Structure 1
Amino acid sequence: MPSNAIETARAAIVAPEGTGMGRLTLTDIAEEHARSRPNEMAAICQQHRITYAELNVRANRLAAWLLAQNVAPGDRILWLGQNCHRILEGILAAAKIGAVFCPANWRGSAEEFAFVLEDLQPTVVFWQETEVGDKTRAARGSVSVNAVWVRHDTDEPGGYEDVLRSGSGDHAYGEADPDAPVLLLYTAAWEGKPNGAMIPHRAIIAHNLIWAWLSDIDPAYCYLNCGPLFHVATMYPMMATFHMGGKNVFLSRADPREICETVDRERCNGAFIIEPTISKILALDDLERYDLHSLKVWPTLNPEWVQITSPDASLWGRGGATGYGQTECMGLLTAAGLGGQGAHGRPVPGVQVRLLTPGGDEVGVGEVGEISARGLTVMVGYHNRPELNARRFENGWYRTGDLGRREPDGSLSFVGPRGRMVKSGAENIYVAEVEVCIATHPDVQEVGIIGVPDEQWGQRVTAIVVADPAAGVTETAVIEHCRTRLATYKKPSVVVIRPQPLPRTGAGIDYDALDEQYGGGGYPGSEQFRRNARF
C-alpha cells in the first residue's frame, strides 16, 4: 500500500472529524440493529416489549425532545430512579446528541442526591416517585440546579412517555466523536466524596466486545438486569447484550420471586445475582415451581444455587468468574480465564497493564506496585475533578489506586486498595467517606472505620468513635446521623464508643491496631476475602 494510502487509512480511523471508515459510536450500533434486526426483541420491562427498530425510534424521539430543551454536547442528563429500559434509551439518546447520561445510585440519601445534583449541574433530570420520590424532592429543594425535571413512572402529561411522543422518531443524527464521553458512573467515595467517571463511546464498544467474547454473548443471549444499573457490573453486561443484538430484560430491583418468575418466563441466560439474594431465592417455599436452568452461573457460588441453574462454560465462567477491574475502565482489565498463576489472570484484549512505583518505574516480578492501565476501555477522566485527573493520569497511564503483584509467569494478582476499603455484599465502601460523615457529628472527636468479617455480607462496617463520656453519644445516635447522609449499606452496623484517643502511626490512624483490638479483617485482597468467594 502506498504511504499516502496508509496515512489516509490511519486518518480515517483516528481523526475526530470527517468520514472515517473506522469510526463507530453507540448511535451507529443502534441504527444498524434497527436495519438488520428490526423485529428482534431488544428490551422487556414490565408491560413494555420493545424491538430494535422501536428502540431506535424511541431513542430518536427522546434525543429530539432533549434538543428542544437546549441540551448541548457535553451536557449531563441525570437518572434518579431504579432499573428500567429507559436507562438504555437515555444512553442512546445522549449518544445521538453528544450529551452524557448518568444513572445515579437510587439507594443514596437525600444528602447524597443533593451532592450529585450540585456536582453534575444536569440540564435534564429523569426521576421516579416509587421508593425515591421523597428523597428526590428533599434534594431538589436543598440545591440550586437549573434543570428540566421529568417523572418517568407516570402516564400523566409531562411524564416520560408523554415527552417521548412529542419528539420526532425519524431524525438523522450526525457523526459523534468516539472519544467523547456518553456515560457517567459515580465511583465509590475513596477520597471522601464520589467521583463521576466519564466513559466514552469507544470504551463501551471495546468492552462490549471483550465481555461478549469472555461470556459467550450472541444474538440469542438474554440478560436479566436485576442488579443496579448505577453499578458497572450490571451496566457492562447490559451494553454488551445490546451490542450483540441480544435481549435485555429489566427488573426495578433484585426481588427474589420476581427474579425466579422472570428467568422462568423469559429464559434468561445471565444476571448479576449475588448474596444475600441467592440465599433469599433458595429460601422460597415454592422454589420448585420455577425452572432456572437457562441461567448460567459461576461454579464458585452456593452449591444449592449451582444445582438448580446451569454451569457457566464460557471463558469467564471456566476461570472462576474472577478478574480485576474498575468503573473507570468500563469493567474488566484482567480475567482469570486468560490463564496464569495469578489470582486475577492476564489483561483482556485492548488494554495494557503495568505495575508502577510512585515514581513511575515498573516493579519487578513478585513485587507489589500500583496497577496502571492504558488502552481502549479507559475513561477520559473524572467530571469536574482537574486535580484528581492530574494525579490519576501520569505519563500516559491511568493510575487505578489499587495494588497488584506480577507473578513469575507474567500474570497478575490484585493485592488490595492503596487506601482502605470495606466490602459488604457487592458494594465497595470506602473508609474515608464514612469517617467524613461521622466526623460531622458535633460530639464526635475522632472516628476510625474497620471491616469486621461477616458470614452473610463478607464484612460489616464497624465505627470506632472517640467521644467525651459526658456528651452521652450513643451507638444509635451515630447510626441515625449516618442514615440521613449515606446510602443505607454504607452506615455502620456496629459503633464502639471509647474515651481514649485512637492509636496512631506517623501516617495517621493505626488501623492494624484497631483491627486487632476489635476483630477487623477479611479485606479485599486478603486470603480470608479470597476464601469467601461469593463476595
Structure 2
Amino acid sequence: MSSANDPKGGVAPQSTRVSNLAHLVTRTSRRLGDRPALVWGERTWSWREFDARIDAMAAALKERFGVTKGDRILVQSQNCNQMFEAMFACFRLGAVYVPTNYRQTPGEVAYLLAASGARGLICNAGFPAHAEACLTSASAPDFVIAIGKAAFGEDYDELVAAHLGQTVPNAPVDRDDPCWFFFTSGTTGRPKAAVLTHGQMAFVAVNHLNDLMPGTGPNDASLVVAPLSHGAGVHQLTQVAAGATTVLMPSERFDVAEAWRLVERLKITNMFTVPTIVKRLVEHPAVDDFDHSSLRHVIYAGAPMYRADQKRALEKLGPVIVQYFGLGEVTGNITVLPCAEHSLDDEVARLGTCGFERTGIEIAIQDEDGNELPLGASGEICVTGPAVFAGYYDNPEANAKAFRNGWFRTGDLGHRDEAGYLYITGRASDMYISGGSNIYPREIEEKILAHPKISEAAVVGVPDEAWGEVGIAVLVAVPGEPVTEAEIGAFLAEKIARYKLPKRFVFFDEMPKSAYGKITKKLVRQALEERGLLSGEAVG
C-alpha cells in the first residue's frame, strides 16, 4: 500500500518511450503530402518528396554504413536541403545529429569530430579542407558523405537516388535518448556538446508554437536567415511540427533585398533571427520596396535588442516582433516577450525586459551560494523545466559547474520585477570591476546607442593599474555621420555615473560578429588586441 506522501503517487514507474522526432515528418507527410515542405531557390519539395528523401538517406546510412541508434553523425555544411534532410534521417535511425558552425576552421571542425565521437561525416563539397582535416585526424570517421561533387566521400544525392522508394521505420526512442549534440559557441574555451534529447525537443517544439508563434500551421511559410546548425534548426523543427513551409535563402550570403523579395513572393509569415540581422533588415532601403504585410512573427533571440533598434523595427514592420531569451542548453526556451508586449511608447513598454517565463519553465535568481534572491535583487539567472538539456557530452567537470540543486546555471546576470519579467544585466563573464564597483556593459551600451550617430556599440573591461579595470567602448558610427570621442563622452556624462564612463571610445568601420550575426565580447576583445588596444598604455 502506498503512502500518501509517496512522490510517485503510488504509481509504478512506466516506460519513458516517446515519439521519435522524425515522426513529425511522417505525420505531416501523411496529412499534407502534396503541400510544399521546403523551398530553396527554384526548387520546391513536397512533404511526400521530403519524407521520401529522408527515408532514402536513412536507408543509405543504415545499409551502406551500418549506422545504428546512438551513433553520432557530424554535419559540416551551409544551409541546403540535404542538411535539413540529414537531421531527420539521423533522428529516424535513433542516431545523433551533430551540426557544426560551418564557418569554423578545418582544425576546429576536426576537434568537434573528436569531441563528439562521431562515426560519420556529412560534408558539403565546398569544404574539402575540413573533410581532409577530419580524415587525417586521430579520430578519423568511418565514412564520409559529400553534399555536391567532391573528391572526398560518397555523393549524397547519388546515395539518395539509389535508395529512393525504401522506407525506414522511425526507431523507438526514450525521452532521454540523445538526438542532437548542440555545440556551444565556446566563448570561454573549447566548444562543449550540449546533449539534446527526443523528449526534450518535443516539448520545445510544442512550447515554441504555443509561446512564440501561436496559430502557426500549414498555410504559413518560414524564411531561414540563420544557420540551421543552431537556433534556426530548432525553429525549423517547429515549422515541420506545424506543417509550415520552410524557405531557404538562395545563397549562403545574406542578401537583404533578396530576403524581402522572398517575403513578398512567398507570403512569408515568420522568421527567426538575431537582433543584428533584424537591424539590417529594417535599415535597408529594400524594406520599403516589397510588401511584407504577410509577416506575423519576426522572432529575435541570441542577444538583447537595444531599444533604439526595437523602435525602428516596430516602425517599419508593425507589431510583429517577438523576443525570447534562451541558451542552447535550454534550447532557446527560457522567456518570451510577445508581439503584443512590444510598444513604441516608452511609458507603456517594459523597457529592457526579455519577457516572462515560458510555459512549463521556472526561473530563479540566485546568489553565489545557490540561495534564491527576492524580486528586484540581481544575481545569476538559473532555470529548470523540460527544455533543459541532459548535460554536456563526456564532460563531468562542465556538468558539475552547470548544475546546482537541480537548477541549470545560465551564467547570465539579471533580476525580475514584481510581475516576474526578467531583465538581463549581462553575462557574468562580461561584468568588470572598476575601483571596487561592478560595471555592467549592457547598461552603458544602451545609453550610447541613444546617440543618433551611433549604429552599434560594445563595451569591454580591460586591465588598468589605477582602477583594476576600466571600460573601452567600441563603436560603429552611422554611415556618413562623423562623430568624435569627445562628443560621445559629453553625451554620456549626463546619463550615467562618472565611475561607469568608459575610459576610451574606439571607432571601428565594422563590428566583429560571430557566424550567427551576434556581437560577442570575445571577438571584440580579439579585435582590440589585434589593434594593440588592450594594453594599459593604450587606454591610459
TM-score relative to the length of structure 2: 0.71
| In the alignment, structure 1 residue 212 sits paired with structure 2 residue 209 | yes
Instruction: Summarize the alignment of residues 50-199 of structure 1 with structure 2, pairs less than 5 Å apart.
Output: 50-68=45-63, 69-130=65-126, 132-138=127-133, 140-154=135-149, 158-167=154-163, 169-199=166-196
Inter-partner Cα distance in structure 2 for 1:113 and 1:246: 32
Which residue is equivalent to 1:530? none
Q: Following TM superposition, by how much is the alpha carbon of 1:106 offset from its aligned partner in structure 2, in angstroms?
A: 0.9
Unaligned runs of 5+ in 1: 18-22, 436-446, 458-482, 504-513, 519-535
Which residue is equivalent to 2:476? 454
Inter-partner Cα distance in structure 2 for 1:67 and 1:431: 49
The alpha-carbon distance between structure 1 residues 501 and 161, as it changes in their structure 2 partners (threshold 3 A), is closer
Helix, strand or coil at the partner of 2:383: strand
Give the conservation status (yes or no) of the 8 Å contact 2:20–2:170. Answer: no
1:259-317 deviations in Å (ceiling 9; x for gaps): 233223222122235576567667878776643332344797477766665541xxxx3
Instruction: Summarize the alignment of residues 378-393 of structure 1 with structure 2, pairs less than 5 Å apart.
Output: 378-393=388-403
Inter-partner Cα distance in structure 2 for 1:219 and 1:499: 53
Which residue is equivalent to 1:226? 225
1:197-223 deviations in Å (ceiling 9; x for gaps): 111122222222222222232221110
Give the conservation status (yes or no) of the 8 Å contact 1:121–1:145. Answer: no
Inter-partner Cα distance in structure 2 for 1:257 and 1:36: 34
Q: Following TM superposition, by how much is the alpha carbon of 1:62 offset from its aligned partner in structure 2, in angstroms?
A: 1.5
Inter-partner Cα distance in structure 1 for 2:430 and 2:243: 40
Q: Following TM superposition, by how much is the alpha carbon of 1:235 offset from its aligned partner in structure 2, in angstroms?
A: 2.3
Give the conservation status (yes or no) of the 8 Å contact 1:114–1:143. Answer: no
Q: 2:158 is matched by which residue type in structure 1?
A: D
Helix, strand or coil at the partner of 1:42: strand
Give the conservation status (yes or no) of the 8 Å contact 2:20–2:171. Answer: no
Inter-partner Cα distance in structure 2 for 1:430 and 1:175: 49
Which residue is equivalent to 2:491? none
Helix, strand or coil at the partner of 2:424: strand
Which residue is equivalent to 2:34? 39
Q: 2:40 is matched by which residue type in structure 1?
A: C
Which residue is equivalent to 1:358? 368
Helix, strand or coil at the partner of 1:62: helix
Q: Following TM superposition, by how much is the alpha carbon of 1:229 offset from its aligned partner in structure 2, in angstroms?
A: 1.6
The alpha-carbon distance between structure 1 residues 10 and 413, as it changes in their structure 2 partners (threshold 3 A), is farther
The alpha-carbon distance between structure 1 residues 219 and 119, as it changes in their structure 2 partners (threshold 3 A), is same
Which residue is equivalent to 2:335? 334
The alpha-carbon distance between structure 1 residues 9 and 136, as it changes in their structure 2 partners (threshold 3 A), is farther
| In the alignment, structure 1 residue 495 sits paired with structure 2 residue 505 | no
Inter-partner Cα distance in structure 2 for 1:240 and 1:397: 26
Inter-partner Cα distance in structure 2 for 1:42 and 1:151: 23
1:137-170 deviations in Å (ceiling 9; x for gaps): 3454455412311111239993111111333532
Inter-partner Cα distance in structure 2 for 1:488 and 1:416: 13
Which residue is equivalent to 2:486? none
Q: Following TM superposition, by how much is the alpha carbon of 1:450 offset from its aligned partner in structure 2, in angstroms?
A: 6.5
The number of aligned residues is: 448
Inter-partner Cα distance in structure 1 for 2:119 and 2:148: 20
Inter-partner Cα distance in structure 2 for 1:304 and 1:354: 32
1:223-249 deviations in Å (ceiling 9; x for gaps): 0112112231x2232111111111001
Q: Following TM superposition, by how much is the alpha carbon of 1:388 offset from its aligned partner in structure 2, in angstroms?
A: 0.6
Percent of paired sites with the same residue: 23
Unaligned runs of 5+ in 2: 300-306, 342-348, 432-440, 446-455, 464-468, 480-513
Give the conservation status (yes or no) of the 8 Å contact 2:459–2:473. Answer: no
Which residue is equivalent to 2:326? 325
Q: Following TM superposition, by how much is the alpha carbon of 1:373 offset from its aligned partner in structure 2, in angstroms?
A: 1.5
Q: Following TM superposition, by how much is the alpha carbon of 1:82 offset from its aligned partner in structure 2, in angstroms?
A: 0.5
Q: 1:256 is matched by which residue type in structure 2?
A: V
Q: 1:454 is matched by which residue type in structure 2?
A: V
Q: 2:183 is matched by which residue type in structure 1?
A: Y
Inter-partner Cα distance in structure 2 for 1:306 and 1:357: 36
The alpha-carbon distance between structure 1 residues 209 and 286, as it changes in their structure 2 partners (threshold 3 A), is closer
Instruction: Summarize the alignment of residues 220-259 of structure 1 with structure 2, pairs less than 5 Å apart.
Output: 220-232=219-231, 234-251=232-249, 252-253=251-252, 254-259=254-259
Q: 1:401 is matched by which residue type in structure 2?
A: G
Instruction: Summarize the alignment of residues 3-42 of structure 1 with structure 2, pairs less than 5 Å apart.
Output: 15-17=15-17, 23-42=18-37
Inter-partner Cα distance in structure 2 for 1:201 and 1:375: 15
Helix, strand or coil at the partner of 2:326: strand
Helix, strand or coil at the partner of 1:77: strand
Inter-partner Cα distance in structure 1 for 2:534 and 2:241: 57
Helix, strand or coil at the partner of 2:180: strand
Give the conservation status (yes or no) of the 8 Å contact 1:355–1:372. Answer: yes
- For the aligned residue pairs, the C-alpha RMSD in angstroms reads 4.3
Q: 1:29 is matched by which residue type in structure 2?
A: L
1:411-447 deviations in Å (ceiling 9; x for gaps): 32222112238999xx9x9999xx9xxxxxxxxxxx9
The alpha-carbon distance between structure 1 residues 369 and 144, as it changes in their structure 2 partners (threshold 3 A), is same
Give the conservation status (yes or no) of the 8 Å contact 2:411–2:428. Answer: yes
Q: Following TM superposition, by how much is the alpha carbon of 1:355 offset from its aligned partner in structure 2, in angstroms?
A: 1.7
The alpha-carbon distance between structure 1 residues 274 and 430, as it changes in their structure 2 partners (threshold 3 A), is same
Q: 2:149 is matched by which residue type in structure 1?
A: T
Inter-partner Cα distance in structure 1 for 2:97 and 2:286: 40
Q: 2:474 is matched by which residue type in structure 1?
A: V
Give the conservation status (yes or no) of the 8 Å contact 1:227–1:271. Answer: no
The alpha-carbon distance between structure 1 residues 180 and 326, as it changes in their structure 2 partners (threshold 3 A), is same
Give the conservation status (yes or no) of the 8 Å contact 1:370–1:403. Answer: yes
| In the alignment, structure 1 residue 344 sits paired with structure 2 residue 354 | yes
The alpha-carbon distance between structure 1 residues 286 and 244, as it changes in their structure 2 partners (threshold 3 A), is closer
Inter-partner Cα distance in structure 2 for 1:383 and 1:210: 25
| In the alignment, structure 1 residue 261 sits paired with structure 2 residue 261 | yes
The alpha-carbon distance between structure 1 residues 336 and 294, as it changes in their structure 2 partners (threshold 3 A), is closer
Inter-partner Cα distance in structure 2 for 1:278 and 1:374: 29
Q: 1:73 is matched by which residue type in structure 2?
A: K
The alpha-carbon distance between structure 1 residues 500 and 76, as it changes in their structure 2 partners (threshold 3 A), is closer
Give the conservation status (yes or no) of the 8 Å contact 2:459–2:472. Answer: no
Q: 1:246 is matched by which residue type in structure 2?
A: A
Inter-partner Cα distance in structure 1 for 2:114 and 2:192: 12
The alpha-carbon distance between structure 1 residues 8 and 495, as it changes in their structure 2 partners (threshold 3 A), is closer
1:156-196 deviations in Å (ceiling 9; x for gaps): 99311111133353232342113212122211213311111
